[in-house]
Amino acid sequence: MDRVQLVAESVSTPAVATDMLNIVKAFGQDKLNYYGVS
């Protein structure tokens, strides 16, 4: 059951948004430029 909590905490929109920000920072940048199509 604690695995469920761990999974839930890493798969949500806030988690994805945080990941994207970290990707931006890993490239040494500060602002996300993004064109997303769904």
For other proteins, the closer of residues 2 and 13 by Cβ is: 13
Site mask, other proteins, residues 1-38, x = CB under 8 A?
------xx--xxxxxxxx--x--x----xxxxxxxxxx
Tokens in use for 29? 């940048």
**CA angle centred on 18, ends 16 and 7, rounded to 5°:** 50
Q: Applying CB under 8 A, what is the total number of residues that bind other proteins?
A: 22
With contact defined as beta carbons under 8 Å apart, do 9 and 15 qualify?
yes
Least distance CB 13 / other proteins (angstroms): 5
Least distance CB 26 / other proteins (angstroms): 13
Q: Whole-angstrom Cα distance, residue 24 to residue 33?
A: 9
